[in-house]
A and B are shown apart, each in its own frame.
Chain A
Amino acid sequence: MQVLMYLIVIIPLVGALLSYVQKNRNGLRIVNFVASVAMTGLALVLVYQTARHGALRYGMFYIDELSGLLLTVVSILTLTATLYSFSYMEREVVQGHLAAARLPGYYAMLNILSFTMVAVLLVENLGLMWVAVEATTLASALLVAFQLNRTAIEAAWKYVMVCTVGICFALLGTILLYYTQVNVAGSAIEALSWLQLAALSERLDPVMVKLAFIFILIGYGTKAGLAPMHTWLPDAHSQAPSPVSGLLSGSLLSCAMYVIIRNLIIVQNTLGQAFGQYLLIGFGLLSVAIAIPFILLQHDIKRLLAYSSVEHMGLITLGLGIGTPLAVYGALLHIFNHAVAKSALFYLAGDITQEYHTKHILRIRGLITAMPLTGTLFMLFIIAAVGVPPFGIFTSKMTITWASFAAGQPVLGFFILLLLSGIFAGMIFYCAKMVLGAPAQPVRKAQSGALSQIAFLLSFLIIAGAGIYLPTWFNGMLLRAAALVSGGGY
């Protein structure tokens, strides 16, 4: 197992190095294909072992059911993003948006991004986690700016500035937590190990922990795209190359949410549930609500999807805020479903924008005739993303709402349903506009590459399957992870 864990961390690094020195286009494909398949395969084996046998710890590496869930998300998305990149980036080169010589750099950065995300999930230390989260921002910033046109640079500048300032606050919070740990643990300290912090949590200084958590929530909340710190998100997600948008939205936001959850576990033990709950429910409701006007009046297909991500992150935060095991279960399931569906949507949007040469919703017409497979899948994924059965997102949205009623907060549940119906209206309206009808000008039938079709279908199978049947081991892992969060304690 130990070797497995090291390999998962090392493979993306080796992949990055090999991609960077690769001149040949086929060589680049082979290196990245092998690296992503190997990493995903090994990660899934590790997750399966964790689900079966419980948490594993080697030095500063650690994996339990919670990080297992997130590792599943990151590894699946790394695979689909790599597969989709092949056709997307090559078409960018063919269409003249990009010089072929820049491809090795792209793949190297992509691999470094997956390395940093895996590092966030596998380290057993809040300090190193901070380092890894900041590294994800920096690795993805150059990918956001990759097109090097004015809008891409604007998006990247805002992204780095907002997220780095945010994450500085998270570092401040982390230092304050360390201070409380030093005061309690004395010489037997394992600095910022969250296992030790959780074990000591009942003796930590509550005032300091409160202060620390506010900074931590604001800091990592910026990275997770919670309103009102979400301003960078639609810019960065709409300007990045589509495979990167999918990764940012699906796995990077989830990784930031994961760090919040790890801190939440400690804070809940020290302060009781109420304090964290108010904050999380507040941020969550605001994020869902703020997305609605932007979804109802949107002109850019990728920004539409980005605001839907803000909404989903808000919903996950709400689930964590309600805090009962059922709600947390729903939130964790939603992380998984959101990642798979939203990444696929961004990939499909990439195909669509390449075909129509515009991101403007009103200029995209009759997808279903112009691009039958892409159009159909796009519609199905949108339907899945707004929470229509039988897809996985229905299950998780339903669970969160249900948990809110079950926890004796019917007003909150009512609000959630009301807000979700607003999102539903906007998304379905624009989706119908793009997919149905006849194309404005005759478009020749286009097909995306075979590998990217595999990525779409894989995502579709997962999101459709998750609504109907979850494998027993996966469900058990989710249940235990939810128990970790709401029960507090490892």
Chain B
Amino acid sequence: MNVLVIVLFLSAFLLTRVTILRTAVIVLLLQSLAVAAACVVLGLETSQFHMYLAALLTIIIKAGYIPAALFKIVGRLRREREQNPILSPNYTSLTAALAIVLAYGLIDQALPGVVTRNALAAAIALLLIGLLIIMVRRQAVMQIVGLITMENGIYLLGLSVVKGLPLVIEFGVFLDILVAAVVLVILTYRLKISFLSTDTTQLRKLKG
């Protein structure tokens, strides 16, 4: 489990540094695989069949379909990359490090002595770093990656606090993420067609 936590931290850090969209999607893919592996580990510990199913769903949706869709769109956005991000990679990494410290601090405050301390901290750090990326990156694809990172964080949190949600709800959550990704990819295509670029800072016409 600790290895996986390290992989997750690493993926979050890498996301703060990448400026090439394709690399960001690869990192996201690795991160989702680590979350799926965490499901399997928990399944081995608790011997619940439910966990393996969750791992399978994670692989199909978050490590399969969503990265595939993102790769496809990134392939059409050859000239797009994260230029002049709102917060430079160095500062973003620094903020991410602070987020990890904050995550450990929160866990020790709210749930002192919890067994899954590291996994929980990773979950909260992913959540915060995902949010950070949505806020400080201009590219639509980077924001989608940030959103899925956030979602991975919440999923990991559920996994380490309550061993995952009941199956029906979990199915629903996965379905929503899938549809959300589809909707966002469609909108990104439309951004490219209408604005000739997927830089979201162009979206500032609606005001007041």
Report if A156 contacts B (CB, 8 A). Answer: yes
Q: Which of B110, B143, B187 contacts A153 (CB 8 A)?
A: B187
Q: Which residue of B lies closest to A60 (CB)?
A: B168
Please tell me if the beta carbons of A165 and B150 are within 8 angstroms of each other in the complex: yes
Please tell me if the beta carbons of B205 and A150 are within 8 angstroms of each other in the complex: yes
CB neighbours (8 Å) of A298 from chain B are 208
Give the Cβ gap from A27 to chain B, nearest Cβ, in Å: 27
Give the Cβ gap from B114 to chain A, nearest Cβ, in Å: 11
Given A127-B169, A128-B169, A192-B169, check contact A160 B180 (CB 8 Å): yes
Q: Which of B147, B161, B168, B175 contacts A161 (CB 8 A)?
A: B147
Report if B108 contacts A (CB, 8 A). Answer: no
CB neighbours (8 Å) of B175 from chain A are 131
CB neighbours (8 Å) of B195 from chain A are 150, 153
Q: A175 to B186: give the CA distance in the assembly, Å.
A: 30
Contact with B along A136-178 (1 / 0, CB 8 A): 0010011001001111011111101100110010011001101
Please tell me if the beta carbons of B190 and A127 are within 8 angstroms of each other in the complex: no
Interface residues of A in 107-145 (CB under 8 A from B): 125, 127-128, 130-132, 134-135, 138, 141-142, 145
Q: How many A-B residue pairs have CB under 8 A?
A: 114
Report if B115 contacts A (CB, 8 A). Answer: no
Q: A208 to B175: give the CA distance in the assembly, Å.
A: 28
Please tell me if the beta carbons of B162 and A182 are within 8 angstroms of each other in the complex: yes
CB neighbours (8 Å) of A176 from chain B are 161
Q: A128 to B168: give the CA distance in the assembly, Å.
A: 8
Please tell me if the beta carbons of A150 and B194 are within 8 angstroms of each other in the complex: yes
Give the Cβ gap from A49 to chain B, nearest Cβ, in Å: 27
Q: A326 to B81: give the CA distance in the assembly, Å.
A: 56
Q: A182 to B208: give the CA distance in the assembly, Å.
A: 46
Give the Cβ gap from A166 to chain B, nearest Cβ, in Å: 11
Q: Which residue of B lies closest to A211 (CB)?
A: B110
Which of these binds chain A: B7-15, B36-44, B57-65, B151-159?
Answer: B151-159
Report if B134 contacts A (CB, 8 A). Answer: yes
Q: A211 to B208: give the CA distance in the assembly, Å.
A: 33
Contact with B along A286-299 (1 / 0, CB 8 A): 00000000100111
Please tell me if the beta carbons of A175 and B151 are within 8 angstroms of each other in the complex: no
Contact with A along B153-189 (1 / 0, CB 8 A): 0100110011001101100110110011001101100
Given A157-B203, A165-B131, A179-B161, check contact A134 B180 (CB 8 Å): yes
CB neighbours (8 Å) of A208 from chain B are 110
Please tell me if the beta carbons of B208 and A165 are within 8 angstroms of each other in the complex: no
Given A127-B165, A128-B168, check contact A151 B154 (CB 8 Å): no
CB neighbours (8 Å) of B154 from chain A are 168, 171-172, 175
Report if A207 contacts B (CB, 8 A). Answer: yes
Please tell me if the beta carbons of B150 and A151 are within 8 angstroms of each other in the complex: no
Q: A472 to B18: give the CA distance in the assembly, Å.
A: 63
Please tell me if the beta carbons of B176 and A138 are within 8 angstroms of each other in the complex: yes
Report if B200 contacts A (CB, 8 A). Answer: yes
Among B140, B154, B206, the most chain A Cβ lie within 10 Å of the Cβ of B206
Please tell me if the beta carbons of A191 and B165 are within 8 angstroms of each other in the complex: yes
Please tell me if the beta carbons of A299 and B208 are within 8 angstroms of each other in the complex: yes
Q: A192 to B169: give the CA distance in the assembly, Å.
A: 10
Please tell me if the beta carbons of B162 and A179 are within 8 angstroms of each other in the complex: yes
Please tell me if the beta carbons of A125 and B187 are within 8 angstroms of each other in the complex: no
Q: Which of A141, A149, A172, A211 contacts B194 (CB 8 A)?
A: A149
Report if B127 contacts A (CB, 8 A). Answer: yes
Return 5 A-B CB contacts under 8 Å, by A number: A128-B168, A131-B176, A154-B205, A154-B206, A179-B162
- Beyond the given A138-B176, A138-B180, A211-B110, please list 4 additional residue pairs across the A-B interface where CB-CB is below 8 A: A128-B172, A132-B172, A158-B203, A238-B206
Interface of A toward B, CB cutoff 8 Å? 125, 127-128, 130-132, 134-135, 138, 141-142, 145, 148-151, 153-158, 160-161, 164-165, 168, 171-172, 175-176, 178-179, 182, 191-192, 207-208, 211, 234-235, 238-239, 294, 297-300, 303
Closest 5 CB pairs of A and B: A131-B172, A127-B169, A154-B203, A191-B166, A134-B176
